Structure 1
Amino acid sequence: MALFKIFVDKKGLYHFLLKSDSKHIVFISVGFSTKTNCLKHIQTVKRNSVNDQAYSRLKSNYGNPYFKFRKIRTDETIGISELFLNRSVMERKIQEIKQSAVHAHIDKLTYTI
């Protein structure tokens, strides 16, 4: 079963990650100042993950594809992917998020790194 997990970084910012059904991390968010704000953005990902407009497909300075997941109305960035070897690998990762996020549960614990 897919799962969202919340963690706090060394600067005190809250992030979430999404683990797929196969337990691989498929998405990590940017940092948020509060846990409440982090939870709100998890709900945004759950609602909008199937909407292709939420994914901005980009290329790094070195030509590697990556994507930003963003709020559609405000264009606020919720998370930035890793760099991928090619576009098809990136598209597979986006498909995995689309399949996992909607039904993913939210872990009640908050982890610290």
Structure 2
Amino acid sequence: MGKFEIKKDKAGKLRFNLKASNGQVILTSEAYNSKAACDNGIESVRKNSQNDAMFERNKAKDGRPYFNLKASNGQVIGASQMYASASSMASGIASVKKNAPKATVADNS
């Protein structure tokens, strides 16, 4: 089962990573000012990850694919790593869909 890990960044803001069962990071959040906002972000990932239309598929300047997960208001709530191919990006999206709904939360902040 997947896991959300919350930690503080260098600026003192909270961020979370969604990790797959193998420990690989599959989604990284934006920065949050409070624990409550971070918790809301996790709940938004759980909810919106089940709607394929909320995944925005992109290409970086160097051509590598990546995706953003958006909330219903259009705000990005999480971003993926850069992938080597569109098929590996599709696997990353599938992993978020599979892991996010029941992922546990580890608060390392």
| TM-score above 0.5 | yes
1:81 maps to what in 2? 80
1:50 maps to what in 2? 50
Provide the aligned length of Structure 1 versus Structure 2.
Answer: 109
| Structure 2 length-normalised TM | 0.93
Deviation at 1:65, TM superposition (A): 0.9
State the distance in 1 between where 2:51 and 2:75 align. Answer: 15
Contact 2:48–2:70 at 8 Å: present in 1 too? no
- What do residues 62-111 of structure 1 show as CA deviations (whole Å, max 9, x unaligned)? 11111111102x1111122121111001000000110000111112x333
State the distance in 1 between where 2:2 and 2:78 align. Answer: 18
Contact 2:16–2:38 at 8 Å: present in 1 too? yes
**What is the aligned-residue identity percentage?**
30
Q: How does 1:4-83 map to 2 (within 5 A)?
A: 4-72=4-72, 74-83=73-82
State the distance in 1 between where 2:78 and 2:102 align. Answer: 19
What is the one-letter code of the residue matched to 1:83? M
Deviation at 1:22, TM superposition (A): 2.1
Deviation at 1:23, TM superposition (A): 2.2
State the distance in 2 between where 1:76 and 1:95 align. Answer: 21
1:110 maps to what in 2? 108
Unmatched segments (≥5 aa) in structure 2: none
Runs of 4 or more, structure 1, over 3 Å off, are none
Contact 2:26–2:81 at 8 Å: present in 1 too? no
Secondary structure of 1:79's counterpart equals: strand
State the distance in 2 between where 1:64 and 1:2 align. Answer: 25
- 1:3 paired with 2:3, answer yes
Unmatched segments (≥5 aa) in structure 1: none
